[in-house]
Structure 1
Amino acid sequence: MLDHTKDQLTRELGTSGIQASAVGLGTWAIGGWMWGGTDEARSIKAVQASIDHGVTLIDTAPMYGSGVAEDIVGKAIKGRRDKVVLATKCGLVWHTQKGNHFFDTDDGPVHRYLGKDAIIYEVEQSLRRLGTDVIDHYITHWQDPTTPIAETMEALEQLKKDGKIRSIGASNTSPEDVKAYLAAGQLDAVQEEYSMVKRDLEQTHIPLVRENNVSVLSYSSLALGLLGGRMGPERTFEGDDQRRDNPRFSMSNREKVARLMEQIAPVADAHGATKAQIVIAWTLQQPGITFSLCGARDEGQAVENAKAGLIRLSEDEVRAISTAAATHLTDLDA
């Protein structure tokens, strides 16, 4: 059974001195965009249930529903701000067309732009939506090829001096980006996709960040639900759900994942845990992975993810799961 005598696993965010739960709540789905809409009341309960079960790290972004996710998080943490390490982002903008055009939405174009003027504008918008006067971890969401990283870092370091943010992160980076951030200031974390089905980070980033005491916030640990243990072949995706046309969710992939889950099941049973919880725990025991951001759209999912922070897999269990993943997840449709 899950050992409830263990505390929620916590780790330091880079060298910032900020301690946060290793399992974090990701709020992309709560924003509704690319997830088939959102339910505000249900989403607020998901955030609050996460906090009630020891999750302190909450990650959001303006782009998640064009402010919707930040608004929901702000409502959910009202009166609980002191229990939360709050992370949000900048760099995907729709208030200006400066920078690099990224994609179009029904409301207009979105650009990648990390110029000082935009960062100063964005942080104030996020502070307002989140109902707080400081952001604990501020992350550049996607990298802007039109703005030197030194300029971006100058703005972020100034926000830190001004007390608007407490630490700095960068997401969706190349190793060269990370080196440029490190040369320009104190980078505390990178946020990158990492899961059993996407492990290239182990070669591209992990050696560099470990050498420089930079944390890794892994997102999509459950691969958008593919590794959640419930993604059967009968599942369909509607509307703007990004998984609808994603080749990673092909029938053959789901069959391969099902075979992996059969081998994870005994480990889950031994811990009184779900297969998804074991996948999250395995992720957190990979070298260099500091935090695992897990999405939740309702209270049940939030509690399930939070309890993964109580699990400590043995070395033999980690090794067995890694072997099973290598066996069943090779040659997945990309």
Structure 2
Amino acid sequence: MKYRRLGKTGINVSEISLGTWQVGGKWGSGFDDALAEKIINEAIDAGVNFIDTADVYEAGASEAAVGRVVKSRSEEVFVATKCGRQINPHVNEGYTVDVLRKYVEDSLKNTGMDCLDLIQLHCPPTEVFYRPEIFELFDRLREEGKIKNLGVSIEKVEEGLKAMEYPNVSTVQIIFNMFRQRPSELFFEKVQKKDIGVIVRVPLASGLLTGKFSSDSTFDEEDHRKFNRDGAAFDKGETFSGVPFEVGLQAVEELKKVFPERKNLAPMALRWILDFPEVSCIIPGASKEEHLKSNLEAVKLPSLTKEEKAAVNQIYHEYIKKHVHQLW
């Protein structure tokens, strides 16, 4: 495993870390504690030292599993969780200092930890980023010894740029992949200047960039790749990175021509992200052990060649850009 500095947190985190949205099984299939613990343990065995979870993942079951495993290990493993998505309806007015404080304290209880390494606002409405009192709360929580660092998980580049104006924001979690390239422009320029840690989520565009889907692929009714393609439940950019499924399939066929020797495109898609020095770590999910092994392969790969990078960019401009670039 290789490690990178997570911005001004000063923490060195594994390039490939672990996201735990579906670590306990397939989307919508319930949570398997034993499977979750097995995958988390295997990730740590492989050198993963940063695990991302959230209070809403499987109604807290993911947070609890992460806490149990991390406390059982001798290695230093950093835990990041998130708060805010329990607010229903999920609107600006629902974000209050008292509500968020309770969520943080609930996460401490759920994980069994005395202090959270990183707490992140979980994709709040854009208006929340313009409310200083929300961000000031986390200074108090830090003084009380309940959190070490504050970050934000965002949908839009605009939100990340605004969040960075608050001195106590140390990290930004953002969607960035071969099909969502806009962050590599102004956003990456600003994070370098402000020493912000960049945590990349949805790196495989909900599995599209594995190259394993076809027009015949089907998804369970409770899988967001079935019900959220048009944003029915949450921001549609979380599902296939906002790319229309059939368009994504066409683009993937072109990517297969760029990497003809690879049956599984996932490691190359992750390597493409790691070729950006502004990225601190990637948090791909894993609902099976083989997913974890596939993700970890990216660390061993050499950087893409100049020709491969140019080909990926050409595919993005030809197939993808008009569908996503200005939306997020």
TM range (shorter): 0.7 to 0.9
Q: Which residue in the other structure is 1:132 paired with?
A: 113
Name 1:11's counterpart in structure 2: 4
Alignment of 1:289 onto 2:279: yes
Q: In the alignment, which residue of structure 2 is the partner of 1:150?
A: 132
Q: C-alpha distance in 2, partners of 1:156/1:81?
A: 29
What whole-Å deviation, never above 9, does each CA across 1:274-319 have from its counterpart, x for those lacking one?
A: 4211110111112522221101012221122123223331543652
Flag the 1:149–1:279 CA change in 2: closer, same or farther, 3 A: same
Partner Cα separation in structure 1 for residue 305 and residue 142 of structure 2: 40
What is the 5 A alignment of 1:293-308?
293-308=283-298
Compute the displacement of 1:74 (Å).
2.1
177-186 vs 283-292, greater mean Cα deviation: 177-186
Structure 1 residues 18, 258: closer, same or farther in 2, change over 3 A? Answer: same
Which residue matches 1:265?
260
| Identical counterparts, % of pairs | 27
Q: How much does 1:82 deviate?
A: 3.9
CA distance in 2 between partners of 1:180 and 1:81 (Å): 38
Cα offset, 1:331, TM superposition: 6.0
The 3 A distance-change label for structure 1 pair 329 and 44 is farther
Q: Match of 1:212?
A: 194
Q: Deviations over 1:7-41 (max 9, x none)?
A: x1211111121111121211112366954433322
Deviation at 1:120, TM superposition (A): 1.9
Matched-pair contact (CA < 8 Å) for 1:115–1:147: no
Query: 1:243 touches 1:249 (CA, 8 Å); kept in 2?
Result: no
Residue type matched to 2:185 in 1? Q
Q: Tell me which moved more, 302-311 or 121-130.
A: 302-311
SS at match of 1:15: helix
Please name the residue that 1:242 is paired with. 224
Whether contact under 8 Å (1:216, 1:288) holds in the other structure is yes
Pair 1:81–1:177, CA change in 2 (3 A): farther
- SS at 1:330's partner residue? helix
Which letter does structure 2 place at the counterpart of 1:253? G
Say if 1:91 and 1:143, in contact at 8 Å, map to a contact too: yes
Q: 2:259 aligns to what SS in structure 1?
A: helix
**C-alpha RMSD of matched pairs (Å):** 2.8
Counterpart check, 1:253 vs 2:232: no
Q: 2:299 aligns with which of 292, 309, 313?
A: 309
Q: Is the 8 A contact 1:24 1:293 kept in 2?
A: yes
- Structure 1 length-normalised TM: 0.82
Return the alpha-carbon distance in structure 2 between the equivalents of residues 59 and 240 of structure 1. Answer: 22
User: Is the 2:25–2:35 contact (alpha carbons within 8 Å) kept by the matching residues of 1?
Assistant: no
Structure 1 counterpart of 2:312: 322
User: Counterparts of 2:223 and 2:277 in 1: how far apart (Å)?
Assistant: 32
Counterpart residue type for residue 116 of structure 1: V
- In the alignment, which of 59, 69, 76 is matched to residue 62 of structure 2? 69
Q: Is the contact made by 1:150 and 1:181 (CA closer than 8 Å) also made in structure 2?
A: no
- Bigger Cα displacement from structure 2, 291-300 vs 39-48: 39-48
User: Match of 1:118?
Assistant: 99
Distance in 1 (CA, whole Å) between partners of 2:108 and 2:266 is 33
Q: Aligned partner of 1:281: which letter?
A: R
In structure 2, distance between residues paired with 1:252 and 1:17: 40
Instruction: Please state whether the residue corresponding to 2:17 is helix, strand or coil.
Output: strand
Distance 1:253 1:180, change over 3 A: closer
**What secondary structure is seen at the aligned counterpart in 1 of 2:57?**
coil
TM-score normalised over the length of structure 2: 0.83
Structure-1 separation of matches of 2:195 and 2:246: 40
Q: For structure 2, which runs of at least 5 residues remain unmatched after alignment?
A: 231-242
User: For 1:216, what is the secondary structure of its paired residue?
Assistant: strand
- 8 Å CA contact 2:174–2:201 kept in 1: the answer is yes
Report Cα offsets for 1:201-245 as digits up to 9, x if no partner: 223522222221112111100000000121233311112111115
What SS does the corresponding residue of 1:288 show, helix, strand or coil?
coil
Instruction: Kindly indicate whether residue 198 of structure 2 is the aligned counterpart of residue 203 of structure 1.
Output: no
- Aligned equivalents of 2:272, 2:129: Cα separation in 1: 37
1:51-130 superposed matches below 5 A = 51-80=44-73, 82-94=75-87, 101-102=89-90, 113-130=94-111
Alpha-carbon separation, structure 2, partners of 1:176 and 1:275: 30
Between the aligned partners of 1:129 and 1:164, the Cα distance in structure 2 is: 13
More helix by share: 2
Paired letter, 2:255: L
1:326 deviation in Å? 3.2
Cα distance in 2 for residues equivalent to 1:111 and 1:151: 13
AA matched with 1:27? T
Q: Contact between 1:9 and 1:310, CA under 8 Å: does it hold in 2?
A: no
